[in-house]
Amino acid sequence: MSGMDLYVALALGIGLAAASGFRVFMPPFLFGLATRFDFNPAALPDSGMQEWMASDVGLVVLGAAVLCEVLAYYIPWLDNLLDTVASPAAILGGMLLMSTSLGELDPALRWSLSIIVGGTTSGTVQISTVGVRALSTASTGGLGNPLVSTMEAGACLVCTVLALLLPLLALGLIIVGLIAAGRWLVRRRGKKGPDATVWVPVNPQA
């Protein structure tokens, strides 16, 4: 793998890992479709995982999982429950997709990058979506969650397609998005602290 191919493979893996933070099954399904139709932007070698995703069984299983996952997020309160399962699944999915994109690297280096970079990327995106969903639930009583779910599914689709078509551009946008998400999370936590200390109980005997 040449230097440029390595950069493209890394960008593709990070893009797919970020997409996994929005939805777990859509990125491998679209990646499998791309492989099935011989679209391979990073000239990736066929790996066992990639071959399975592109197989008839893999596409059917992943396609059914995508449909169930997308529809489940439109069921009130089930969406928040799914976040408890989706968070570790998203991290695992990001790691696997990152490893698949780096198939030619030494296994130790490949899995180190997959765990550190892929898992962190998908985990950060997933934590951000959980925070947005919790905010929507608290402020709208769950009525705004379908809109949040639609935006998440759309972001996953755009992120995956962009990673497959223009991996380097996707990488740049993901870095900007992760920085913005990190700042938003820090601000959210910072607001909770002062708010908890502002309230002072009133002594009715004073």
Q: Give the tens place of pLDDT for each residue, 5-28.
A: 778 888 999 999 999 999 999 999
Q: How far apart (Å, rounded) are the C-alpha atoms in residues 5 and 25?
A: 26
Distances (CA, A) of 199 to 7, 9, 84, 139, 188: 52, 52, 32, 21, 18
Tell whether 206 is covered by a domain. Answer: no
Query: Residue 110 pLDDT > 70, yes or no?
Result: yes
Q: Count CB neighbours of 75 within 10 A.
A: 13
With respect to residue 200, please indicate whether it lies within any of the assigned structural domains: no
pLDDT in tens, 133-156: 888 888 887 788 889 889 999 999
Residue 45: give the domain boundaries.
3-187
pLDDT of residue 16: 93
Number of domains composing the chain: 1
| Residues ≥6 apart with Cβ < 8 Å to 186 | none
Tell me if the pTM is above 0.75. Answer: yes
Tell me if 18 is assigned to some domain: yes
